[in-house]
Structure 1
Amino acid sequence: MILRTSAILLLAAALPLAQQAAPADVSPRDRAYDHMLDINVRDGLVYYNAVKASRGTLASYIESLDVSPVAFARLPREGQMALLINAYNAIALHTAASAYPISGRVGDFPAKSIRQLPGAFDRKHGVAGRTVSLDELERWLIDDYDDPRVIFALGRGAVGSGRLKSEAYTAVRLEAQLADATREFAMRAFRMDQAAGTVVVSPLYSWREKDLAAAYADKADPAFKDRSAIERAILALTLEHLFPSEQA
């Protein structure tokens, strides 16, 4: 009897979570995707087996993002950016899940990452009336919207890149979501060994050196003017999040 009562209590406690509605600012089109992320992504780590079993739903969502150019143009700037970020992340997630488990290592890219899949970033997809690859979609975001924080919002399926969030990006919360993605990356992608006097940073800084240096180098403290552009960019992104003892 005690076991049965405990089971009922556990089931009752779980029901609100299972029935929890998506946030009000999540569009009807994004709700299934938002729910998938909510239950299958934690701290940037993906339960790929579960996503793989639901990749048909994910594929349907990706197809829904190929809206007409007219419909896309009607969206506010934040809505356009959210759609493109969600498209990138959903395509990358579907690509990785479909090939999971990923084995082997080619070149300098991280082992078991999506970069190990031939053509993963060159394959074309329909997004907002265009036919683009993942690399072209990233350039579209960076070049057309002039907000380098999108670099940290893209889940590339590789250690060292931006983390996939447990939620869809939305027009209403885009500013807060991009700020959070940038802050999280800056803290996670910077490791200091004070005893050795060395600093280890994410490879994303070298992958996107030109864009990040152009966006952040001039924001560094003038005391670092003799450093390279990418070093100044890293310092500008990171120092404000360190403790005073770590900044010394």
Structure 2
Amino acid sequence: MKRYTQKGILVTLTGFALTSLVAFTEPGPVTTPTAPVMTLAADPVDHSIYDRLAKKHINEKGLVNYKGFRSDEKELDKYLDLLSKNPPTDKWNQDAQIAYWINAYNAYTIKLILNHYPVKSIKDIGSKIKIPFVTTPWAIKFIPIGSEKISLDNIEHGTLRKKFNDQRIHFALVCAARSCPRLRNEAYTGAKLDAQLDDQGSDFLNNPAKNAISPQKASLSKYFDWYKGDWKEDNKSIEYWVNRYSKTKINKDTDISFLDYNWALNEQ
């Protein structure tokens, strides 16, 4: 018979009881708790359908094969339906929300062109509109998001510019015109958004057809004129944004002008 003291209590065990105790309390192999695996949260909406279509029908210059999109329009509609049924909420992280809205703008712009194809310019759609007080394609409320229908203007000005303080969205939204930034041939995602927007800025500012820059004279995109207030937010300037991405730098003495905008369709 052996005697054990546990928490101040004297316990007497018979040999049988001791054997039983050992059988039940003998430690097994020591294991180290596994730390949780840290992964980047996936976007609440799966953008893979649009990603596949973009890779298939948009080339490295951002030009679109609209005829190809027409052949895959059912797949595009599946993606748009997914967006429609899963609007962002404030529970989403900010990058996932921005990625959703940029993809929605670009994908629905493609859909708008397909609805009126063939056209030489998105601006030609304006003359075809038979809706009172609606004179531009960007004002058509044809986009079902949740329980309401919204326009491209609502996405750009009512949501992205109003809610999110990231001027780089101007490098990502593409209104189907040649002078627009390159239409990216992949979907935007929350996890990659920051790098994607920086890449868009670099591509846009270093494309001489869209921004012709020298230290003495900079002929910039009309974006820098149309949205001059945006570029000056947070005590920044047009000079700041140009120099952030352009390989050729400008200064306060650089003569700045703005290029005419080419509204021809961004078609291959």
Q: Give the TM-score normalised by the residue count of structure 2.
A: 0.65
Cα contact 1:190–1:238 (8 A) shared by 2: no
The partner residue of 1:237 within 220, 237, 241 is: 241
Are 1:74 and 2:91 an aligned pair? yes
1:172 match: 191
The partner residue of 1:127 within 145, 158, 171 is: 145
CA distance in 2, matches of 1:100, 1:74: 38
Structure 1 residue 136 displacement after superposition: 1.1
1:183 match: 202
CA distance in 2, matches of 1:149, 1:89: 15
CA gap of 1:183–1:134, structure 2 versus 1, over 3 A, is same
CA distance in 2, matches of 1:180, 1:136: 25
CA distance in 1, matches of 2:229, 2:138: 19
Structure 1 segment 18-37 matched on structure 2, within 5 A: 29-37=46-54
* CA deviation vs aligned residue, 1:107-133 (integer Å, no higher than 9, x gap): xxxxx3313212421111122554321
Structure 1 segment 64-103 matched on structure 2, within 5 A: 64-67=82-85, 72-102=89-119
Are 1:48 and 2:38 an aligned pair? no
Q: For residue 187 of structure 1, what is the amino acid of its counterpart?
A: N
The answer to which of 26-35 and 118-127 deviates more is 26-35
Rg larger in 1 or in 2?
Answer: 2
Structure 1 residue 90 displacement after superposition: 0.4
Cα contact 1:149–1:179 (8 A) shared by 2: yes
Cα contact 1:115–1:158 (8 A) shared by 2: no
The partner residue of 2:81 within 63, 75, 78 is: 63
Structure 1 residue 57 displacement after superposition: 2.0
CA gap of 1:58–1:154, structure 2 versus 1, over 3 A, is same
CA gap of 1:238–1:193, structure 2 versus 1, over 3 A, is closer
Cα contact 2:95–2:193 (8 A) shared by 1: yes
Q: Report the 3-state secondary structure (helix = DSSP H, G, I; strand = E; otherwise coil) of the residue aligned with 1:66.
A: helix
CA distance in 2, matches of 1:212, 1:164: 21
Cα contact 1:81–1:141 (8 A) shared by 2: yes
2:124 match: 116
CA distance in 2, matches of 1:121, 1:190: 24
CA gap of 1:78–1:129, structure 2 versus 1, over 3 A, is farther
CA gap of 1:148–1:28, structure 2 versus 1, over 3 A, is closer
Q: For residue 47 of structure 2, what is the amino acid of its counterpart?
A: D
1:163 match: 182
Percent identity of paired positions between Structure 1 and Structure 2: 26
Cα contact 2:45–2:86 (8 A) shared by 1: no
CA distance in 1, matches of 2:147, 2:233: 30
Structure with greater helix percent: 1
- The CA RMSD measured in Å over matched residues stands at 2.7
CA gap of 1:56–1:120, structure 2 versus 1, over 3 A, is farther
CA gap of 1:155–1:61, structure 2 versus 1, over 3 A, is same
Q: For residue 239 of structure 1, what is the amino acid of its counterpart?
A: N
Are 1:214 and 2:233 an aligned pair? yes
CA gap of 1:26–1:36, structure 2 versus 1, over 3 A, is farther
CA gap of 1:56–1:202, structure 2 versus 1, over 3 A, is same
CA gap of 1:149–1:129, structure 2 versus 1, over 3 A, is farther
Q: Report the 3-state secondary structure (helix = DSSP H, G, I; strand = E; otherwise coil) of the residue aligned with 1:82.
A: helix
